[in-house]
């Protein structure tokens, strides 16, 4: 299964970076406009709408229309893990419904003095069975610009 990883150092305190990424507003702020993201609903693990923090069990229903081309694509994301320790934290979201056969995104955060290291790791499988598997490594062409944007925007907002 292909894996994409990217890391950035943010000149901002760990607690601020972690809090920012723990809210749906963080996702909205870090998604490029060309993706035309719409958040349709967010529910917490107990089913309550619009939770303050995306805890394990939270679910986000969204859709996007990259570059305004084609029909909107639905994406259901569920937070399956969330842990915070002393100077480190992570959460994992998995796609339950959407354009990939498999999507597991691990977001890791590490305090380093007054800065924070943000590490993204995505395990994915493209659609189209064996054809998608053969083309899987080429998905970096789309993933790299997306995560470069996300990391640049994180620095812009939090530094």
Q: Which residues pair with 47 in a beta bridge?
A: none
Q: How confident is the model at residue 118 (pLDDT cuts 50, 70, 90)?
A: very high
**pLDDT tens digits, one per residue of 33-42:** 999 999 999 9
Candidates 83, 88, 79; CA nearest to 119 is 88
Q: How confident is the model at residue 106 (pLDDT cuts 50, 70, 90)?
A: very high
Task: Locate the domains of the chain by residue range.
Answer: 3-158
**pLDDT tens digits, one per residue of 53-81:** 999 999 999 999 989 999 999 999 999 99
Q: How confident is the model at residue 132 (pLDDT cuts 50, 70, 90)?
A: confident
Is the pLDDT at 4 greater than 90? The verdict is yes
Residue-averaged pLDDT of the chain: 95
What is the pLDDT at residue 13?
A: 98
What is the pLDDT at residue 140?
A: 82
What is the pLDDT at residue 114?
A: 97
Give the C-alpha separation, 14 to 20, whole Å.
10
What is the pLDDT at residue 112?
A: 98
Instruction: Evaluate whether 33 touches 136 at the Cβ level (below 8 Å).
Output: no
Is the pLDDT at 27 greater than 90? The verdict is yes
Task: Determine the CATH number of domain 3-158.
Answer: 3.30.530.20
């Amino acid at each position: 299964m292909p894996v994409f990883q990217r890391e950035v150092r943010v000149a901002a305190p760990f607690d601020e970076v972690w809090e920012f990424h723990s809210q749906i507003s963080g996702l909205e702020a870090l998604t490029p406009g060309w993706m035309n993201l719409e958040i349709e609903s967010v529910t917490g693990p107990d089913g309550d709408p619009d939770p303050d923090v995306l805890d394990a069990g939270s679910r986000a229903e969204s859709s996007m229309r990259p570059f305004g081309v084609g029909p909107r694509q639905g994406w259901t994301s569920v937070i399956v893990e969330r842990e915070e320790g002393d100077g480190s934290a992570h959460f994992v979201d998995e796609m339950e419904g959407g354009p990939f056969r498999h999507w597991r995104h691990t977001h890791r955060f590490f305090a380093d003095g007054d800065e924070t290291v943000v590490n993204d790791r995505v395990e994915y499988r493209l659609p189209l069975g064996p054809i998608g598997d053969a083309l899987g490594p080429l998905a970096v062409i789309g993933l790299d610009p997306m995560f470069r944007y996300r990391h640049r925007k994180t620095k812009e907002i939090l530094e």
